[in-house]
Amino acid sequence: MDINDNIKQQLQDNPILLYMKGTPQAPQCGFSAKTVQALMACGERFAYVNILENDELREALKTYSNWPTYPQLYVNGELVGGCDIILEMYESGELEEVVKNAAPQENSES
């Protein structure tokens, strides 16, 4: 599978996806750590990809997104932004709204 097809598949399979350095439990940079903290505070599950484990993906994603830095948060296949944007959105309450609207809804029928 072509690397861009791989990226598209990851975005299609995961409504909330964070490309980051490290993992949510062990971030490998301060920006990824701050982004994870903001996302976790919103209370929704999210998928992640550790871009340090795949050099080809790390470089291809910069071109795919036209965004040169990490982390990169995608919601419903669209790039939301990096750390600074995510933190601004968190402070304003917008991030929680965006991720809650994107999170898969549990079946609430009785």
What pLDDT was estimated at residue 110? 39
Where along the chain do its domains lie? Answer: 3-95
96 contacts: CB under 8 Å, gap ≥ 6:
41, 42, 43, 90
The reply, when asked if residue 42 is annotated as ligand binding, is: no
- In words, the CATH class of domain 3-95 is alpha beta
Per-residue pLDDT in tens (0 to 9) along the chain, 110 residues: 799 999 999 999 999 999 999 999 999 999 999 999 999 999 999 999 999 999 999 999 999 999 999 999 999 999 999 999 999 999 999 999 999 999 876 544 43
- CA 73, CA 34: separation in Å to the nearest integer? 12
